[in-house]
Amino acid sequence: MTTELPARLHHNAYVTKDQEATRAFYEDLIGLPLVATWSEADELFGAERVYCHTFFGLGDGSALAFFQFANQEDADLFDPELAPSPFRHIALKVSTELQDAIAKRLQHADWRPEGTFVLEHGYCRSLYTEDPNGLLIEFTVDTPEVEAIAAERRPKAHAELRTWLAGDHSSNNTYR
């Protein structure tokens, strides 16, 4: 078994019903540039699917990607709203300054104020909001102690998972 790890996120894909609303959110409000748009027709899952695939760039070269289908039957078939969940989200690492700037742009645009919130996790601080597709986006600032915390957690990760799976669901987050 190799010990090499993936270098970074390549892209995270999601379905959109409105590419322009998605572009305006990610490019105009969040500040991620549209770096590629692919118009495609492929044989996928037993039928030809015609779609537009957009990519919004992140600083490390990775991207957030979105599909919009030309055919309404395909759009209905792959609709992410069939099973929405706050546990299905994208988390992006940002600086405190960028998190603050994004929060200000969202507030200035009156972007979903009822669904935009901050959580202090103890080991990081996260700003959450939804994109135009209902996808939850998390902008995360790690604490200055993140490397020490990671070094402490890594050796215990397997044992703590076994403990949880065995039924002990006590919180082990001592950082809040």
Integer Cα distance of 132 and 17 in angstroms: 9
Looking at the predicted structure, is the pLDDT value of residue 10 above 70?
yes
Integer Cα distance of 19 and 108 in angstroms: 22
Tell me what the pLDDT averaged over the chain comes to.
89
pLDDT band at 125 (very low <50, low <70, confident <90, very high): very high
In a domain, 105, yes or no: yes
Q: Extract the tokens encoding 58.
A: 């992140």
In a domain, 23, yes or no: yes
Q: How many domains does the chain have?
A: 1
In a domain, 107, yes or no: yes
The pLDDT value recorded for residue 1 is 62
In a domain, 95, yes or no: yes
List phi, psi (to 5°) of 73: -60, -40
The pLDDT value recorded for residue 12 is 92
In a domain, 31, yes or no: yes
Q: What are the pLDDT digits (tens) for 31-81?
A: 999 999 999 888 888 999 999 999 999 999 999 999 999 999 999 998 888
Integer Cα distance of 61 and 33 in angstroms: 11
Burial of 66 (0-12, 13-18, 19+ CB in 10 A): buried
In a domain, 170, yes or no: no
The pLDDT value recorded for residue 157 is 86
CATH number at residue 64: 3.10.180.10
Q: Are strands 89-93 and 136-142 parallel, antiparallel or unpaired?
A: parallel
Integer Cα distance of 136 and 25 in angstroms: 13
The pLDDT value recorded for residue 59 is 94
- Residue range(s) defining the domain that contains residue 68: 11-143
Looking at the predicted structure, is the pLDDT value of residue 82 above 90?
no
pLDDT (average), residues 91-108: 94
In a domain, 42, yes or no: yes
Q: Which of 142, 149, 32 is nearest to 95 (CA)?
A: 142
The pLDDT value recorded for residue 165 is 84
In a domain, 159, yes or no: no
The pLDDT value recorded for residue 130 is 93
Write the single-letter amino acid at 18.
Answer: D
Q: What are the pLDDT digits (tens) for 142-155?
A: 999 988 988 888 89
Which one-letter DSSP state was computed for residue 108? H
The pLDDT value recorded for residue 158 is 82
